[in-house]
Amino acid sequence: MKFGTQLLLSLLFLISFYGIAQKPVFELKDSLRGSLRLERTYDVKHYELNLTIDPDHKFIKGSNAITLTSMADMEEIQLDLFENMKILKITKDKKELVYRRIYNAVFIANPIKSGESCTILVEYEGNPTIAKNAPWDGGFVWSKDADNMDWIGVACEGDGASLWWPNKDHLSDEPESMDMYFTVPNPYVAISNGKLVGKKKMGKKKTTYHWNVSYPINNYNVTVYIGQYETFNETYTTKSGEALALNFSVLKPNVTKAKAHFGQVPKVLEAFEHYLGPYPFIRDGYGLVEAPYLGMEHQSAIAYGNKFQRGYLGSRIPEEFDFDYIILHETAHEYWGNSVSCKDHADMWLHEGFATYMESLFVEYFYGREAALRYLNSQKKGISNDQPLIGPLGVNFTNNPHDIYSKGSWVLQTLRYAINNDSLWFDIFKGFYDKYKMGFATSKDFIEFVNLKTGKDYGPFLRQYLRYKNLPKLIYSVSFRDTYTQIKYKWDNLEQQFSLPVEFSLDGKIIVLEPGNDWKYIEFNRKFNKIAPKDDKILIEVLKTE
């Protein structure tokens, strides 16, 4: 399975990180969830989730069988389940185990030696958290379709999967595979991740749907959709000739429009395959499922709620482009987020920034480089520079700034510009993906990989963009005489050793200057009427002084 190790850090050292003026306050609840304590030093091999869902009472009841291998000698193991959910009993080999609960953590008396394996069964029930505004707020969405029939979904990226099922709720551990059984009232269908193994009638009123995921999966990607669904299937053939099943599930009245609208999916898969290789989860297939919320990158069963419109609910992307933003962005997450995953929410820019940058690569593939730059520049209006992109580790920090999307994308674009070698850049981009696919990566891993591939130290460059909220500030001034021009320029407000060339336009002629931390000058024996730095390819702040 995917399992990442991390030092257990003291909470006292977790409440400060670069660039934040007001320090966040963390509590025991945060460290219980966010840190890798001794009681969490085990490797999850498999989950078997079995739930009966009662829409009328917004109630779920069932069990999760957790198969694990210990990586240390332990007296207790820690699982996670929100405290509003009632535990009925916990057993191993049909023998009941003693447990205690602290907030959302469950400590189970289960002495185990390093290297030993066991399966623990947690039986539970309750009314799970209801999402106030999914997918940004985690929880269940209990809604109605146009025919006033139940239409249900769940999204839980920030809050965590333990709001609705017991698990080791830490990003650094994923099961090698998973089975999910959902029992729902007729006539509803339960859609989940992976492949449908089978369905079984449970009397006259209910049906159980069995789904299987054959790859590692983030806990927050595990999901269920319940409604009057109809599924249609297509096939995408990879460049190597392998068949990828495309599984589309939508509410029955929307089948015709979905068949037309989802026709753009092969183009997205083609572009992403060009840059990174085939879709990662080919055995399980690619899926879009109509959801009662906007979207979420649920692995092999992407939540789709964009109402079959271009852009983002009909807007956001420049008018010159015609594609569905939700399909594009969430499919990018199958590579960045689902295949390559971060170990801690503090590094979530590796999911969102890379996926947002992939949008521009789709544009570049089909529309050209200049169009991609226009698309990238449209992202800039969403950048606020109010927090660093990297947060504090080990405390389940989920208050990530929105900048992890567009600013994260622009960190990559600016790095591409700085490297100034597209062949090398795409070798880095794909090479980093290939090294960490079906595994975990950190910001440190990315910096080290860039340095290795380029033979240069891009640490100061990337730390400036990732660890500080403020952008590199270019200060410049211009002096004129009749036959003379002087440009004075420098960087301000940044790390020592930061390096980034800047293009200046002099009456339309482009020159490249290399600002430093001290003032530099360049002089010309002629007068230019219009002088300005160009920031359409890089992310900087510009200040002109007299």
Domains of the chain: 344-467 (1.10.390.10), 473-544 (2.60.40)
Whole-number Å distance between alpha carbons of 351 and 356: 9
DSSP assignment string, 110-160: EEE-TT-EEEEEEEEEE-PPBPSSTTTS-EEEEEE-TTS-EEEEEE-TTT-
Report the percentage of the chain scoring pLDDT > 70.
96
**Does the pLDDT value for residue 319 go beyond 50?**
yes
pLDDT confidence of residue 323: 98
pLDDT confidence of residue 546: 84
Q: DSSP 3-state assignment of 244?
A: strand
pLDDT band at residue 18 using 50, 70 and 90 as cut-offs: very low
Q: Kindly state the average pLDDT of the residues 283-295.
A: 99
CB 2 within 8 A of CB 216: yes
pLDDT band at residue 3 using 50, 70 and 90 as cut-offs: low
As a whole number, the mean pLDDT across the chain is 95
User: Both ends of the chain: CA-CA distance in Å?
Assistant: 60
pLDDT band at residue 5 using 50, 70 and 90 as cut-offs: very low
More confident residue, 372 or 1: 372
Q: DSSP 3-state assignment of 529?
A: coil
pLDDT band at residue 10 using 50, 70 and 90 as cut-offs: very low
Q: Residue length, the chain?
A: 546
pLDDT confidence of residue 87: 99
3-class DSSP string for 362-378: HHHHHHCHHHHHHHHHH
pLDDT band at residue 233 using 50, 70 and 90 as cut-offs: very high
More confident residue, 22 or 517: 517
pLDDT confidence of residue 1: 60
Q: DSSP 3-state assignment of 397?
A: coil
The tens digit of pLDDT for each residue in 246-267 reads 999 999 999 999 999 999 999 9
Q: Kindly state the average pLDDT of the residues 69-96.
A: 98
pLDDT confidence of residue 76: 98
Q: Which residues contact 491 (CB under 8 A, 6 or more apart)?
A: 472, 473, 474, 475, 498, 515, 516, 517
pLDDT band at residue 42 using 50, 70 and 90 as cut-offs: very high
pTM above 0.85, yes or no: yes
Q: DSSP 3-state assignment of 470?
A: coil
Q: Kindly state the average pLDDT of the residues 338-359.
A: 98
More confident residue, 348 or 1: 348
**Which of 258-267 are b and which e, b meaning 16 or more Cβ less than 10 Å from the residue's Cβ?**
beebbeebbe
Q: DSSP 3-state assignment of 422?
A: helix
pLDDT confidence of residue 23: 60
CB 407 within 8 A of CB 314: no
CB atoms within 10 A of CB 14: 21
The CA-based dihedral angle spanning residues 410, 411, 414, 419, taken in that order and rounded to the nearest 10 degrees: -140
CB atoms within 10 A of CB 122: 24
pLDDT confidence of residue 25: 77
Tokens 């975990």 -> residue: 440
Q: Kindly state the average pLDDT of the residues 215-225.
A: 99
Task: Please choose, from the candidates 152, 157, 104, 162, the residue with its C-alpha nearest in 3D space to the C-alpha of residue 128.
Answer: 162
Give the distance, in angstroms, between the CA of residue 462 and the centroid of all CA atoms in the same chain. Answer: 19
CB 515 within 8 A of CB 487: no
**Does the pLDDT value for residue 330 go beyond 50?**
yes
Tokens 């004075």 -> residue: 488
**Does the pLDDT value for residue 443 go beyond 90?**
yes
**Does the pLDDT value for residue 4 go beyond 90?**
no
The tens digit of pLDDT for each residue in 85-135 reads 999 999 999 999 999 999 999 999 999 999 999 999 999 999 999 999 999
Q: Kindly state the average pLDDT of the residues 325-332.
A: 99
Q: Which residues contact 61 (CB under 8 A, 6 or more apart)?
A: 51, 52, 54, 124, 125, 126
Q: Which two tokens stand for residue 216?
A: 């590692």
Whole-number Å distance between alpha carbons of 153 and 150: 10
Half-sphere exposure of 228 (CA within 13 A, CB side): 14
